[in-house]
Amino acid sequence: MYLRMLRMLAAKRASTLKYYDSEEWKIRCLEEAPDQYAFTPTFKKLASFNIFIYDSQSGNTRRGKDYVIKERSYIMAFAPKKYVSSLVEHINLNTDHLAFRVGISIGREFNRITVTKTKIKGKWKSDTRATTLVPKDVFHNTYKERFGSKKNMTKFDMFHVIDPIYSRKGKLYRDVLKVAKRARA
């Protein structure tokens, strides 16, 4: 069983690294979030530690004529269950970021944390939120989308890492990478 898990992780690492080297990744980044492309080497290193990012945001500030958008940097990722506990603890003890395992709920999302806010006409509003709980079907579909099937799903947990301070571009990525090296399961 353990050997099968190691093989699966090796295959997932290889496919993730291949994706980060692909033209598809480059185009997706440049279309959706151009600033993310610069962090590709960090994402590849995180994958080498079995941290498979599903969603992320680097922590930008954008200003327009009538608006300001501020982001908190965050990572939503999957990792082996045994590793997630150690990783979350190390991040919470050794950085100023907030890390937590995402739980599965029976129903809707709960405990939402604003990660992007917009100021228009002097008033802030919440745009994007991270959640501490997701419905079971959302977890299963997210896992399937990232891994291609629901096989081995019980061996992985989803977790979030959020920078509590807005607009610290890339700091969270660098800090998580440093901690990942120490938190090996």
Determine what percent of the chain is predicted with pLDDT higher than 90: 46
Enter the pTM of the model: 0.85
The answer to whether 171 and 72 have CB atoms below 8 angstroms apart is no
pLDDT for 185: 46
Q: Measuring CA to CA, which residue among 95, 103, 93 is closest to residue 130?
A: 103
Domain regions of the chain by residue span:
50-182
What CA–CA distance (Å, rounded) separates 56 from 131?
Answer: 13
The answer to whether 102 and 162 have CB atoms below 8 angstroms apart is no
Q: Are strands 103-105 and 123-135 parallel, antiparallel or unpaired?
A: parallel
For 47-76, write each residue's pLDDT tens digit: 999 899 988 999 999 999 999 999 999 999
Beta bridge partners of 67: 120
The answer to whether 97 and 176 have CB atoms below 8 angstroms apart is yes
pLDDT at 98 exceeding the cut of 50: yes
pLDDT for 184: 64
